Each structure stands twice: as structure tokens, then as C-alpha cells.
Chains A and B, each alone.
Chain A
Amino acid sequence: MVDIPEHLLIKTAEARAKALGISVEQALAEMKGEVEPTTISKEPEVIDVKPIEVKEAPAPAAEVKEAPAPAAEVKEAPAPAPAAGVKTDVPAEVDFAPETRVTQRLLTVVKAKPIQKPTSEPVDKVNTWPHLMLPEFISLMAMTAFLIFISAILQAPLLEEANPNITPNPAKAPWYFLGLQELLSYWDPQIAGVMIPLIIGVAAFMAIPYIDRNKDNKPSKRKYAIMLWTFFLAGAGTLSLIGILFRGPGWNWTYPWIDGVWFDDLLDWVHFE
């Protein structure tokens, strides 16, 4: 304990001097046990030390100055006595925090607020395993079961071998393009163009998040967007249904319950084998 660097000692002394309102030299001397320590006039805030001990503090400290032995008595520890006897030239101070002396003091007041500012509210979270993975697993199993079931009862269509010389009437695109095919039947495709509207349409799809700057995602706050999408769904669904079910030879209007279904993907459905 004796080998405390000089600059640290001085720093401590300066702090002590500031706290007690005494000169640095005096504080240093007090710490080395050369002078009687200044008693603290104010009650320290938080310290759980009995006031009697505070009052007693100066007395043993004063004795330390004369002979180290009584200090040992105070601590009820016999060990320091021989050590002090050996090194008599070393001042037997250095006991910076004797149990009876109050050294704590208020340096600064830190306001009770976090250093990091939370930018978002804490989110209520649950473990992925099992709370997410179990429903996922069940839906995968359900999908597999459904797929095997419909594959067992519905035969995928296979017509005659491809023949470029025999054009079926009507010739229909895959079902997801039938809405587009229906739309094209209204205008001369050369005039309307196809890919340009399609490219513009796809680009508009991609641009949706950059067009819709409304930050709210509550349905009641974005009625216009929901209305537009619902119109799009209804329009695409209607056109596709017309193309799938209500168009026959020559792309003329037919009723599926009168003229039959002109859609080969559906033709062989419910085909029990």
C-alpha cells in the first residue's frame, strides 16, 4: 500500500482539499498522517456510518502520528505492529480509508437517464422454435397432403401430339395470361401494343412503394390504396374468368353450362381412375 505513485497521491489530495475547503499541502499532510485530519462539518449524504465513529476518528489518527502501534489496536489486528517496528522511517499513514473515517463525498449528480436513446418501442417477441416453426411445419404438411390428394384424383391434361398444322379453335394461352388475351381481343393488338403497356404495368407495380408515400399501414388510413388494389383484383379476376370460361371458338362469347368449357386445363378435371 505504501508504493502509491506521487501523481495519484497529489490528485487525491487535490480532490480532498477541494472537498474540505483546505489547501492541497494540508490535505497531503493529513493523508500522510503528519497533521490532524480536518473533520467534516457536513453530514455526508448516503453513508451508513455511525456518527460516534466519525467523532472518534481524529483521536486514533492522532495517535498514529506518534506511534503506529495504537492504530493496530483500533483495528484489532496484531500484524501491523512488527511491520511498523521494522520500517520506522516510513510514515505509517497510507490508511486512506480507515473504517472510522468518512471519505465518501458527492462528486457529481448523474441524471437517471440511459446513455443510449432507444429509437423504437421494445417489441413483444416469442421464440421461433416452437411458436413459428410448428405452424409452418403443419402448413407444409397440409399443403403436401392437399397436393398428393388432388394429384391422385385429377389427371394433368395431355392432348394429341403437337402439330403446327392443326390450329385448335380457340387457341388459348396459359390461364394466367387469359385476362391479358381477353383484354387484347377488345383492341387491335397492333394498335394497342402489348409489351409497352405490360412493361409500364410491371414498372408501375415495382414503383408502388415509391409512389405511395403514406407511412401509415392501418387499413382505415389507406382506404384509397386498398380500393385501387381491390379494383385491380376484381378487374383481373373478371377478365381472366371471362377468358377461361366464357370464350369459345373464334373467341366468341359462350356459356360454359350451355356450350361446354373451352379450357383444356379444366377439361379433364375430376377424372377418377
Chain B
Amino acid sequence: MKNEKIKFRDRVKDISAGLGDSLKESSLWGSIFRPGSPFRKGYSDSPRNRSYVVMNNVLYHLHPVKVKRHAVRLSYTLCLGGLSFFTFIVLTITGIWLMFYFRPTEMAYVDIQSLQTSIAFGSLVRNMHRWAAHIMVIVVFLHMSRVFYHGAYKAPREFNWVIGVILLLLTLLLSFTGYLLPWDQLAIWAVTVGGNMASYTPVIGAQVKFALFAGLEATEATLLRFYVLHVLFLPFIIVIFMAIHFWRVRKDGGISGPL
């Protein structure tokens, strides 16, 4: 009995392997995966193919084909830059999902409530979006500290540090504009306090607050303004700066070090 079971399992294995082979041999499969892809038929682990894996993929070729040996040690970067980028991607995906159920009007609060109570996975996705936002602020700041402690802002990477500071500011602004969107007491008063700080700007304080709030205080006009900033304007800007940031990392000779 036991022997027969093993035989059956082997047969299933053979059949699935055969199916996999014929699928990989098809011209459709070959057209999807470019030469050097590990998913292609006949992939073998060779230095040439290792280069192709990175070069022939639109996502992976953000990386160079080779990196410094010390750079792959987890204890050097703690993957903080990569995780900043990854939390941004998570926030983009969950954020787009949330946009389906959210109206930046007087209905905003009701929408959040129904999101939490009557929409499948609504609560989970909203929680993920909120915690990922907090994590992103923390991770970006830790990344900045890591870069400082390694002296990685020194020549030729000075300007990339400047771009990094801009990215930190944009991250804070993204988080701040998103803070208002649930339209509850926590949101409106946190943003009011933040806006009041901006109003202490000497000379043009009132104008700064007026521009930020689209009025004298946080109203539904402010909600719409923050919504557009949060889902379109600031992501648009931050993606441009991220592209420059990553590009400069490559152009300035990869990551710094070793110490």
C-alpha cells in the first residue's frame, strides 16, 4: 500500500515535470522571459547568466551587475534604503486600493467607517496603510542616520545627501497630508496644530496657513486640498526625486565604504 502511494506520487511528479518542460519549451514562455532569466528553459548558474538576470530585467536593472562585496552584508546597510522604497511601494498599492472607497468630502468619515466594517479586507488594508506610513517615516530617518554614521555623504555623494533630505521632507509631508484624510477628531486637530506651527512663520505666517488650509481653518476645502496633495502631487514629486536618488547612487560608484 505504502509502496503504491510512493509510485503514485512519483507519477504525479513526472507528469507535472513534463508539463513544466513543455510549457517552458513553448514560444510563448520564451517570449515572456528574456535570455538569462532563471525561469527560462536551460538556465544554468554561470557568471554570464548571473549578469543577464540583472541586465535583462526592467526591474532588476536598477541594480548594477556587480556590487562591492561589503555592500551585500546585511549589517552594513540593514537594507534601510531598500525598505524605504519598499514601504513606499506598499503604500502606493494599499493607497490606490483605498482610493476606490474614499471620497474627500463630508462623506470621508462615513467612508472610513464603512471601509472598516463592511468592505472585505478594508480594515486590514487601512491598518497596513497607516502603519506602513509610520514605518516609512522611521525607516527613512534611520536610513539617514546610517548614511551619516558611515560618512556616506562625503564626496562624490554630497548632492545625493541633499536629495535624501528632500526625500525625508517629502515623506513627512506625505504622512502629514494623509493624517487629515480619515476626517476624525485626531486628524483634524493634529493637522490644525501642525498648521498653526506653520502660521508662526514670521511675516507671511497667515498666508502660509491660508495656502495650506485653503481657508482660515481646517474645513472640507482643506480635506480636498490635502487629498490631492497626498494621492497625486506629492507622490509625483517624490518619485522624480527617488529616481534621481537611485540614479546618483549608481553614478557615484555604488554605496560607500567599506569603512
Q: Is B211 an interface residue (CB 8 A)?
A: no
A173 neighbours in B (Cβ, 8 Å): 190, 193-194, 197
B200–A174 touching, CB < 8 Å = no
B165–A155 touching, CB < 8 Å = no
| In the bound complex, CA of A173 to CA of B79 (Å) | 30
A174–B175 touching, CB < 8 Å = yes
B151–A222 touching, CB < 8 Å = yes
* Minimum distance in angstroms from B55 CB to a CB of chain A: 10
Q: Which of B60-95 contact A (CB under 8 A)?
A: 60, 63-72, 74, 79, 82-83, 86-87, 90
Known: A140-B86, A151-B128, A176-B172. A128 touches B112 (CB 8 A): no
B179 neighbours in A (Cβ, 8 Å): 174
B131–A147 touching, CB < 8 Å = yes
| In the bound complex, CA of A56 to CA of B83 (Å) | 80
Q: Is A97 an interface residue (CB 8 A)?
A: no
Q: Is B251 an interface residue (CB 8 A)?
A: no
A147–B90 touching, CB < 8 Å = yes
B116 neighbours in A (Cβ, 8 Å): 158
A43 neighbours in B (Cβ, 8 Å): none
| In the bound complex, CA of A11 to CA of B134 (Å) | 80
Interface-located stretch among B9-17, B19-27, B180-188: B180-188
* Minimum distance in angstroms from A160 CB to a CB of chain B: 5
* Minimum distance in angstroms from A138 CB to a CB of chain B: 9
Residues of A in contact, count (CB < 8 Å): 73
A130–B50 touching, CB < 8 Å = yes
Q: Is the interface of B mostly helix, strand, loop or mixed?
A: helix
Interface 1/0 per residue, A152-190 and B, CB below 8 Å: 101111111111101110011111110011001000011
Q: Is the interface of A mostly helix, strand, loop or mixed?
A: helix
| In the bound complex, CA of A148 to CA of B51 (Å) | 34
Q: Is B229 an interface residue (CB 8 A)?
A: no
Known: A125-B66, A162-B185. A229 touches B200 (CB 8 A): no
Known: A127-B65, A164-B218, A264-B186. A195 touches B208 (CB 8 A): yes
| In the bound complex, CA of A147 to CA of B135 (Å) | 9
Tell which of B67, B82, B150 touches A217, judged by Cβ atoms closer than 8 Å. B150
Q: Is B130 an interface residue (CB 8 A)?
A: yes
A124 neighbours in B (Cβ, 8 Å): 68-70
| In the bound complex, CA of A162 to CA of B87 (Å) | 28
B185–A159 touching, CB < 8 Å = yes
B132 neighbours in A (Cβ, 8 Å): 147
Q: Is B247 an interface residue (CB 8 A)?
A: no
B131 neighbours in A (Cβ, 8 Å): 147, 150-151, 154, 156
B154–A168 touching, CB < 8 Å = no
| In the bound complex, CA of A128 to CA of B36 (Å) | 14
Residue on A nearest B179 in the bound complex, by CB = A174
| In the bound complex, CA of A92 to CA of B189 (Å) | 107
B127–A151 touching, CB < 8 Å = yes
B82–A162 touching, CB < 8 Å = no
Known: A129-B60, A229-B149. A174 touches B259 (CB 8 A): no
15 contacts between A and B (CB under 8 A): A124-B69, A128-B60, A128-B64, A128-B66, A140-B83, A144-B90, A156-B126, A158-B184, A177-B176, A209-B157, A215-B155, A218-B259, A225-B151, A226-B149, A233-B145
B residues near A (Cβ < 8 Å) are 47, 50-51, 53-54, 60, 63-72, 74, 79, 82-83, 86-87, 90, 109, 112-113, 116, 123-124, 126-128, 130-132, 134-135, 137, 145, 148-155, 157-159, 161-162, 165-166, 169, 172, 175-176, 179, 182-190, 192-194, 197-198, 200-202, 205, 208, 217-219, 256-257, 259
Please give 20 more A-B residue pairs, beta carbons under 8 A apart, in addition to A151-B131, A215-B154, A233-B145: A125-B69, A126-B69, A127-B54, A128-B54, A128-B67, A133-B60, A133-B63, A136-B82, A144-B90, A148-B124, A150-B127, A164-B218, A166-B185, A173-B194, A206-B162, A212-B154, A217-B154, A217-B259, A218-B259, A222-B151
Closest 4 interchain pairs by CB? A217-B151, A209-B158, A195-B201, A151-B127
A residues near B (Cβ < 8 Å) are 123-133, 135-136, 139-140, 143-144, 147-148, 150-152, 154-164, 166-168, 171-177, 180-181, 184, 189-190, 192-196, 202, 205-206, 208-210, 212, 214-219, 222, 225-226, 229, 233, 264-265
